[in-house]
Amino acid sequence: MSPQKTEKKTLMYLLVEYLSETSPFMLLIHMLYIIMVCATLSVSYVVAFHWSTIVQIYTSAHDIRDFGTNLKMSVENDSKLDDLLTGLINETGGMRAYIYRYHNGLAAINSVPFFFQTNTHEVIAPGASRLLPYEQRIPASFNPYINNHFIKNMCVIVTDADKDPNSQNYYYYQSRQAKAFARCPLYMAEGDLFGFIGIDFTINPENKDEIDRILSDAAGKVEAIFGSSVIE
């Protein structure tokens, strides 16, 4: 018998012996102990690698010295973005224009980070449904095809999302009633990807090149608005 099979058999024997000879009460105690150890390791990891970030976030959230200035700037930026998204709908005939921003969650215990995207701004045409309240903390890995374009600083235009129920794009038709949509990445001046701007359509746009140009121009304006702001 090979060493691997012997080791596997030994482990199985030990497991069976442990389960058969340990009372239910002690099993519960052992399980609680393992949970406590895992929780302690998780907290230790966060403290060791993210403590400064947590302190910074907490301090910023509870520092009211610049609250009035930051609130005024935030409202001004929101007004500019609302006007820009409204202009996009009027110019393209879309039913919904929006901005999503990326944000990170704390890394898991195995040090692998995970990221989210949140809908922060939305303007809808008459008759369109509002999705912003429901599009919060969506896993950023939801659509790798779009993400691969974004990291290359390329826009994406998807048409006929309603045609193939087996396609990943069919979800956008089901959840957003969008038969077509266009999205462009948003970059900070330092080169960091921080979000995207998009438009949903009820029909396929006639001139995709024109949509690409219009949305790319709008992305540049959004980047300028965020770039001139201390709000990040």
The predicted-structure confidence for 63-112, as pLDDT tens digits, reads as follows: 656 656 666 678 889 999 999 999 999 999 999 999 999 988 665 656 66
Domain end marker among 41, 61, 81: 61
> Residues with Cβ < 8 Å from 213, sequence gap 6 or more?
none
Rounded to two decimals, the pTM is 0.68
Does 157 map to a domain?
A: yes
Asked if 40 and 133 sit in the same domain, the reply is no
Per-residue pLDDT band for 232 (boundaries 50, 70, 90) equals: very low
- Judgement on whether residues 50 and 94 belong to the same structural domain of the protein: no
Same domain for 203 and 91: yes
Domain end among 61, 76, 92: 61
CB of 71 within 8 A of CB of 231?
Answer: no
pLDDT, residue 231, reads 40
What integer pLDDT is reported at residue 70 of this predicted model?
A: 64
CATH number of the domain that 133 lies in? 3.30.450.40
* Domain-located, residue 95: yes
Q: Are 33 and 47 in a shared domain? A: yes
Return the half-sphere exposure (C-beta side, CA atoms, 13 A cut-off) of residue 59: 6
| Residue-number span of the structural domain to which 29 is assigned | 3-61
Strands (E), 140-211: 156-158, 180-187, 193-201
- Residue 80 CA to residue 145 CA, distance in Å, equals 30
Residues 124 and 174 in one domain: yes
CB 200 within 8 A of CB 217: no
Please check whether residues 45 and 111 belong to one and the same domain. no
Confidence of residue 46 (pLDDT cuts 50, 70, 90): low
Report if residue 232 sits inside a domain.
no
Q: Do 77 and 57 sit in the same domain of this protein?
A: no
Could you read off the pLDDT of 155-173 as tens digits, one per residue? 999 999 999 999 989 999 9
The total number of structural domains in the chain stands at: 2
Both 71 and 52 in one domain: the answer is no
